[in-house]
Amino acid sequence: MTHFDPVDAAFFEQPTEAIAYQLLNLVLVHEVPDGIMAGRIVECEMYQGPQDRGAHSFGGKPTPRTEVMYGPPGHAYVYLIYGMYHCFNVVTGSVGLPHAILVRALEPLAGRDLMLRRTAAKRAAPDRVAAGPGKLCQALNIDRRLNGHALWRPPLYLARPPEPWASYRVARGPRINIGYAAEAQAYPWRFWVDGHPAVSVKAPPTTVEPAAATR
């Protein structure tokens, strides 16, 4: 069985954009009673409230839904959309600064059969079982029960890859499905591994950079 070492809490004491780039070098792991599910993060979007109209924390007024975003960084923010799909976010920013990064897609590394068993996309290509934020949470069995969980300890955590990834390039461009956000929908705050088959949506990037330049 592949072993994954969680990041430590200090990892989250960085600016939101720095963490967004580095998430593409990490693995999301969920340990469940019937095994371990893990995938390389290949796509994410950052949200920087309270000035960001795309963020749930826009305006800077905490609600029961967004309260976790105002706490210390490194915790999970899990919310429900359309009354049926969960989305998983990494809380960033200092206490009182409600930033978060939505994890949009994973490349399965461990527990792929478990993921396929849990997702409705059983006829999809196995490498795309977690290609999209709702599919990701369904595949990894992430729901509101994990809201507020510290992401440096089991059962749900971020980890370093057992072996370094092959060289890759980081693409960035506008975020997806936030037409309500006025000018903020054009911010180039979506990050993905350029050309990776598990990325949820193909869209032209604003920039493409070697990964080494982002660390």
- The 10 Å Cβ neighbour count of residue 1 is 7
Q: Kindly report, residue by residue over 136-194, the tens digit of the pLDDT.
A: 999 999 999 999 999 999 999 999 998 889 999 999 999 998 878 888 888 999 999 99
User: In the predicted model, is pLDDT for residue 92 greater than 60?
Assistant: yes
User: In the predicted model, is pLDDT for residue 215 greater than 50?
Assistant: no
Sorting pLDDT into bands at 50, 70 and 90, what band is 206? very high
Domain 5-214: top CATH class: alpha beta
The single-letter code of the amino acid at 129 is V
Q: Above pLDDT 90, what percent of the chain?
A: 76
Mean pLDDT of the chain: 92
For tokens 């993921």, what's the residue? 115
User: In the predicted model, is pLDDT for residue 214 greater than 60?
Assistant: no
User: In the predicted model, is pLDDT for residue 213 greater than 50?
Assistant: no
What residue segments make up the domains of the chain, in order of their start? 5-214
Angstrom distance (rounded) from CA 34 to CA 82: 29
User: In the predicted model, is pLDDT for residue 108 greater than 70?
Assistant: yes
User: In the predicted model, is pLDDT for residue 105 greater than 50?
Assistant: yes
Q: Residue 124: its pLDDT value, please?
A: 62
| Alpha helices in the chain, H assignment, sequence order | 16-23, 112-118, 133-140
Pairs from 199-205 (Cβ < 8 Å, separation ≥ 24): 199/42, 199/43, 199/104, 199/105, 199/131, 200/43, 200/104, 200/105, 200/131, 200/132, 200/133, 200/176, 201/176, 203/173, 203/174, 203/176, 204/173, 205/171, 205/172, 205/173
Q: Residue 82: its pLDDT value, please?
A: 83
Bridge partners (DSSP) of residue 80 are 86
Q: Kindly report, residue by residue over 12-49, the tens digit of the pLDDT.
A: 999 999 999 999 999 999 999 999 999 999 999 999 99
Structure tokens belonging to residue 18? 């720095």
